[in-house]
Structure 1
């Protein structure tokens, strides 16, 4: 029961504080899942995030569904998804009915403009953390190569990020692992 309460709290907090949709909620989900409740490591979270980005639909609900299922089974999945969407539903009903009457006021526009830099900083910090951690598996050269290539493919050539992520996952899956290969003569059938 405590796990279900923790799941609800984690995804409710990220849902209620994730202003602007999925990208702003990702650092909040990361903090809850990796730092606060320690349900996943950074590497596992980045794998879930990468896979979730290749699938259609809002990233926050996809991550809530997977993490909820992993931590608490089917009930955990329903619990986490509900906790991530209930804040949006409630706030949409309350705020849209209230703010529509004040939409032309400068303080309403100021709320949005004030939150955008905070979300940008949160995403930059999360990106930097992932980049530093990628050094362990790929090294700096590999990380910079993938970062640069991905940027060029997505921003300059207009290739969808899901295609880039799928290609990188396929490459990682089918790439020969040089650490596990044994090139000794006996392994290749040669007599030494």
Structure 2
């Protein structure tokens, strides 16, 4: 039970201090669950992220559900989910209650501009951290470049890129396992 409360509190802190969505949460989740708590190893964390991105819903919510389930089954998943979403719920509720007072506040506006500037860096940290666990070979580098070009230049929807990558991975890596 103590471990479950510790997990809830870890995800609550992550949810409370992360702005910018799921990708901005990745470095914080990784630091907490891989480095600090050793609940999952780096390879398992990367697998959880890939699966979480493949499912509909918010990345941070899906990731917390998988990690919570791995640690404490259904109750663990539920507590990790609550830990992740309750801070946002309370913050949004508070802002909604006092929105008219915050809307034109100069200092609040400056704070949000500062936060907005930090979010892309948190996403970049996640990319750099995740790239460390990917094998550096010509095929993987080619896939990364092809993916960036497909999404940014040809405007191919990321879901299509994920599906094609999954199909490729199934056929390519199946040969290595057999």
Unaligned ranges ≥5, structure 2: none
Deviation at 1:82, TM superposition (A): 0.8
8 Å Cα contact 2:23-2:122 kept in structure 1: no
3-state SS, counterpart of residue 62 of structure 1: helix
Count residues with an aligned counterpart: 178
2: CA distance, partners of 1:176 / 1:84? 34
Question: Is 1:143 the counterpart of 2:140 in the alignment?
Answer: yes
Matches of residues 28-107 of structure 1 in structure 2 within 5 Å? 28-107=28-107
Deviation at 1:90, TM superposition (A): 0.8
Unaligned ranges ≥5, structure 1: 182-192
Q: Please provide the CA RMSD for this pair.
A: 2.0
In structure 2, do the counterparts of structure 1 residues 134 and 176 end up closer, same or farther at CA, with 3 Å as the change threshold? Answer: closer
Deviation at 1:103, TM superposition (A): 1.0
Max radius of gyration: which structure? 1
Question: Is 1:161 the counterpart of 2:158 in the alignment?
Answer: yes
3-state SS, counterpart of residue 134 of structure 1: coil
Matches of residues 17-32 of structure 1 in structure 2 within 5 Å? 17-32=17-32
In structure 2, do the counterparts of structure 1 residues 35 and 100 end up closer, same or farther at CA, with 3 Å as the change threshold? Answer: farther
Q: In structure 1, what is the equivalent of residue 121 of structure 2? A: 121
Question: Which is bigger in relative contact order (C-alpha 8 A, separation at least 6)?
Answer: 2
